[in-house]
Structure 1
Amino acid sequence: MSLSCFLKLVEIQTKVASAIPFSLGTLYALYRFQQFNLKNFLLMFISLLAFDMVTTVINNYLDYKKAIKTHGFNYETHNAIVKYDLKESIVIATIAILLAIAVCVGFLLFLNTNKVVLLLGVISFIVGVLYSFGPMPISRMPLGEIFSGLFMGFVIVFISAYIHVYDKNIITLLYHDGMLRLEMNIVELLYLFLMSVPAVMGIANIMLANNICDIEDDMENKRYTLPIYIGKENALKLFKALYYITYADIILLLIVGVEPMISLLMLLTLIPVRKNLKIFYERQTKRDTFILAVKNFIIINVSRIFTIGTALLINFFLIH
């Protein structure tokens, strides 16, 4: 398999959906706790990237196997297995190798941190596989937006921050003499969740936009996604609402002092986001307007990375 074929199979361009939450969690740990662990950072990055690729390849493979409609943009061009006429054995071997890398490196991360990382890692792996695999894949149900948003938006942000501050008692999981005890710092957990909301909403909206664009194809392929259940009009209203929840959350973070004041500049991103939202409302197609949901996600969350990163640099120079 050539490199270009592999990158198409794993849809490397979509890895921004996990790389951005990973970056946000890392910057949050630096900004709020002034801590950074390079070894844990690298281990999580490798495991996260490998497993993200696994879920993408599984999804493409199952779409290829289960497709009823075998013509059109989404099948002939979007699916690398069809485009490059890949052998099933090669695809399965790719899944196995990437999964082995993700699991092994993830286990090393657990050994370097604690049981909380192991537990969340195992749950994330299970959900990631069930997202595309099994008799009732999550991606073929009206739960895709919830699971993708929470696990890619919140869990990744949480773990990527937690691996730097696992000794700060944000969450402690203890097992002794048959007793399992879980202790949580509710305030810090709430702040971490609020901090992840823009990523949660952005990723959920990428999934929602994808499903809105694919309503007709999904009905033919018996994929009963959220827009099919609630209808296109309500799905579009939800799509808009999630963006406004994002900006309300950013204002709340500024009020409680979790987000640096420079993040006020984030509100300016509402201008291009609303412009893209208007265009998507007028036409919903995979080829032409789906990309706007991805652009909005990048605009909002990369801007946050920039503002938090700038705040860190300012603090650094003030101290030194």
Structure 2
Amino acid sequence: MIKKFLKYVEITTKITSLFAYINTMLFMIYEKQPINTKLMAIFFIAMFLFDLTTTAINNYIDSKDYPEMLPIPRKSAFISIMVMLGISTVLGLYLAFNTGIIVLLLGGLCFLLGIFYTFGPIPISRIPLGEVISGVAYGMFIPFLMMYINNPSHYLALSLSFETINLSINVMPFISFFLFSLVTTFTTANIMLANNTCDIEKDTAVGRLTLAYYIGRKWAVRLYALLYYGTYVSVALMVICRFLHPIALIYFLSLPLVIKNIHTFRDAQIKEKTFITSIKNFIIINTCYGISILAAIIVSAVI
């Protein structure tokens, strides 16, 4: 039963949230930011459960007309969604209660995006914003929530009253966060872009008009490559701006492998054969990114 449940929630696809969490923790350690281990443990459980929930909702909805597609009974599938959603919601509210309205608002937005990604009259996955939203949700929302929960005043402050709304942003920490988040943002978005590029004809036939449909296969493949190259630009800028130690440039050692996979996808966009390049590049890039930040931590501690 456990194996069937793990298949239902597609446990092997949860690398996106795991890498976002691990690399953000490493970056916070490098920046010597305070880390509340209790809140980070709660955040991890809430994040991971909600990631499982969004996948479960997607599979539950897709199997509406064909219940046999589900590896577990449909009733059990629905109950598991409610349980995971309930637990992640309670944990999210606990985090918001302990940290403030920013976490409540941003966490609430994450919940809405996750639920309506495949649910509702016009699911997000069926419109051109799918790549952007999935990339930002994993690449920016997760890191920012983690950083903000541990060090709220370092990034921004929000005060609300019946008469005024005051928002102040600390520019340099925000730029540092933004550049850091681009690696996971771009690599996550490319997983969906590769999937939609492979399925343009199939998606169009069922009215699923994704970004790849609007920009065409040729430009979708170009964008696929540009997003990967953009991760190297972001790391270089972090070093230039002194947000990362120069040793982090070992990240560029991953470039030949990434280019090889880009060329493989450029030559043919076939779901069964070349979509895997987006997964391979995600793992290669984010693993090397984590290693480069870890190297920066070690060198900074020694010097």
Q: Same fold (TM over 0.5)?
A: yes
1:284 and 1:226 mapped to 2: Cα distance? Answer: 15
2:34 alignment partner, SS class = coil
Q: Does 1:251 align with 2:236?
A: yes
Q: 1:202 aligns with which of 187, 206, 221?
A: 187
Structure 2 matches for 1:63-82, cutoff 5 A?
63-65=62-64, 82=69
Q: 1:170 aligns with which of 155, 165, 172?
A: 155
Q: Bigger CA drift: 238-247 or 56-65?
A: 56-65
Partner of 2:25: 26
Partner of 1:120: 106
Partner of 1:154: 140
Check whether the contact 1:116–1:173 (CA below 8 A) recurs between aligned residues.
Answer: yes
1:81 and 1:310 mapped to 2: Cα distance? Answer: 48
Structure 2 matches for 1:47-126, cutoff 5 A?
47-65=46-64, 82=69, 84=71, 86-126=72-112
Residue-by-residue CA offset, 1:67-115 (whole Å, 9 max, x unaligned): xxx8xxxxxxxxx96163x432222111111101110111111222222
Q: 1:280 aligns with which of 265, 283, 288?
A: 265
Q: How many residues align?
A: 303
Aligned-pair Cα RMSD in Å: 1.8
Check whether the contact 2:117–2:125 (CA below 8 A) recurs between aligned residues.
Answer: yes
Amino acid at match of 2:19: I
2:14 alignment partner, SS class = helix
Partner of 2:124: 138
2:251 and 2:89 mapped to 1: Cα distance? Answer: 36
How far has the Cα of 1:169 moved from its partner?
A: 3.8
CA 1:293/1:303 → structure 2, altered by over 3 Å: closer, same or farther?
same
CA 1:287/1:5 → structure 2, altered by over 3 Å: closer, same or farther?
same
Unmatched segments (≥5 aa) in structure 2: none
Q: Bigger CA drift: 181-190 or 95-104?
A: 181-190
Q: Does 1:212 align with 2:193?
A: no
Check whether the contact 2:60–2:70 (CA below 8 A) recurs between aligned residues.
Answer: no
2:33 and 2:17 mapped to 1: Cα distance? Answer: 23
* TM-score normalized by the length of structure 1: 0.89
Ranges of 4+ aligned residues in structure 1 off by more than 6 Å: none
Identity %: 38
Amino acid at match of 2:147: A
Check whether the contact 1:116–1:171 (CA below 8 A) recurs between aligned residues.
Answer: no
Residue-by-residue CA offset, 1:39-58 (whole Å, 9 max, x unaligned): 11101100000111111111
* TM-score normalized by the length of structure 2: 0.94
Residue-by-residue CA offset, 1:175-211 (whole Å, 9 max, x unaligned): 2455332221122112101111111110110110011
How far has the Cα of 1:287 moved from its partner?
A: 2.0
Q: 2:255 aligns with which of 244, 257, 270?
A: 270
1:169 and 1:248 mapped to 2: Cα distance? Answer: 25
